[in-house]
Amino acid sequence: MSVGLDHVLLTRFNVPSKGHESLVRAQENWLKDRVGLFERYCLPSVVAQTCRDFSWIIYFDPQSPPWLLDWVQGQQRQGSFRPLLREEVGPQDLLDDIATVVGPRSGGALVTTNLDNDDSLAADFVSRVQAVAPLGGRTVVYLADGLIRRGDVLYRRVDPHNAFCSVRETWDRPVTCWADWHNLLPELMPAAVVRGTPGWLQVVHGANVSNRVRGRRTHPSAHRPAFPGLLEDLPDPTVRQLVADVLVSVPARAGREGGRAAAKAVLSKVAGKRGLDRAKLMLSSVRRRMS
């Protein structure tokens, strides 16, 4: 680890949501698709980090199918991440696991970063996050610029409070990046929103619930060095395609996003976060049945 800094990436692979265990555990196809996405996008991007001073914890459901547990054991032998089996991850469990994986602490600072199992990091993501100075104390850090891939099309997006959130704090009663939803963390602590080259990549696919196409089309060739092996199969758009996106698609997406944001705000106010979570799970279940 860097002197004075312990950095841990945190990923939930298939830890069941409380009260909805059967919905998660029964989705065999979902698990197989996620393994494929993880091996194609997530794992290579972490292995390609220019800064290797970090640890990576991935949580798996101990009641996963035998084939998945065998796959986890194979991954553990390769040593890219530390797999842990838990039916749920409470705050104290999380802190105990982090302390165990980190071992002797490098210093007084702890950085935790959320990484979904179907997403990717730019090769310099870890180094950029570690370079951000805290804002006087516990700080949530966001690299605001990122990419979204859908099929063979790539979009560039600015999301100031995105899911690739990192929390930098001391080891004195840390709360980690899982203290709340990624977009609500600025309500708990100061936020450092860093602009620059794209720091992350989201892949929009059939099982996504929250991730959608947003932003503007961009040239994949411009971003291939930062995401080695992940964008080589994408063609650059033509001038006609770029113009059509700006004049037609961007306004249409903005209109849909405005409607979704309004509906989400109403549902969250009426049903709370649990109600919103249930709605997302129901939508995900419907999409999987239709796919």
Are residues 106 and 133 in contact, defined by beta-carbon separation less than 8 angstroms?
Answer: no
Structure token digits, residue 169:
């704090």
- Per-residue pLDDT band for 257 (boundaries 50, 70, 90) equals low
Longest CA span, the chain: 56
If we measure between CA atoms, which residue out of 31, 46, 39, 198 comes closest to residue 115?
46
Residue 73's alpha-carbon distances to 10, 41, 154, 272, in angstroms, are 18, 20, 34, 38
Architecture of domain 5-236: Alpha-Beta Complex (3.90)
- What tens digit of pLDDT does each residue of 187-221 get? 999 999 999 999 999 999 765 444 566 788 999 99
- pLDDT given at position 24: 55
Taken as a whole, the chain contains a residue count of 291
Q: What is the DSSP annotation of 171-227?
A: SSS---TTSS-TTTGGGTS-EEEE-SS--EEEE--TT-SS----SEE--GGGTGGGS
* Other beta carbons less than 10 A from residue 253's beta carbon: 17
Question: How confident is the model over 275-284, as a mean pLDDT?
Answer: 50
Give the CB-side neighbour count of residue 93, counting CA atoms within 13 A: 11
Interior CA angle at 181 toward 111 and 155, to 5°? 85
* pTM exceeding 0.75: yes
pLDDT at 5 over 80: yes
pLDDT in tens, 86-128: 999 999 999 999 999 998 876 789 999 999 999 999 999 999 9
Task: Decide if 200 contacts 161 (C-beta within 8 A).
Answer: no
The predicted pLDDT at position 291 comes to 44
Task: Please tell me the predicted confidence (pLDDT) of residue 68.
Answer: 96
Q: What percent of the chain has pLDDT over 90?
A: 67
Please check the confidence at residue 289 and state whether its pLDDT lies above 60: no
Q: What angle do CA 82, 87, 88 make, to 5 degrees?
A: 85
pLDDT at 247: 77
Domain ranges of the chain: 5-236
Mean pLDDT of the chain: 85
Angstrom distance (rounded) from CA 59 to CA 82? 9
The confidence score (pLDDT) of residue 104 equals 84
Sorted by sequence, the CB contacts under 8 Å of residue 58 that are 6+ apart come out as 11, 12, 13, 81, 82, 83, 84, 117
pLDDT at 196: 97
What is the C-alpha separation between 162 and 265, in angstroms, rounded? 17
Q: How many CB atoms lie within 10 A of CB 245?
A: 19
Q: List the alpha helices (DSSP H) in the chain.
A: 21-25, 28-37, 43-47, 66-78, 91-102, 125-130, 239-244, 250-290
Residue 46: per-residue pLDDT: 98
pLDDT at 129 over 70: yes
User: pLDDT of 262-278, one tens digit each?
Assistant: 444 444 455 555 554 55
Model confidence at 155: pLDDT above 90: yes
Q: What percent of the chain has pLDDT over 70?
A: 77
pLDDT at 158: 95
Tokens of 59: 């949580």
CA 49 – CA 80 distance, rounded (Å) = 12
Cα separation, 91 vs 224, whole angstroms: 37
Name, of 181-190, 198-207, 240-249, the range with top average pLDDT: 181-190
CB 147 within 8 A of CB 218: yes
How confident is residue 290, by pLDDT bands cut at 50, 70 and 90? Answer: very low
pLDDT band at 136 (very low <50, low <70, confident <90, very high): confident
pLDDT band of 4, cuts 50, 70, 90: confident
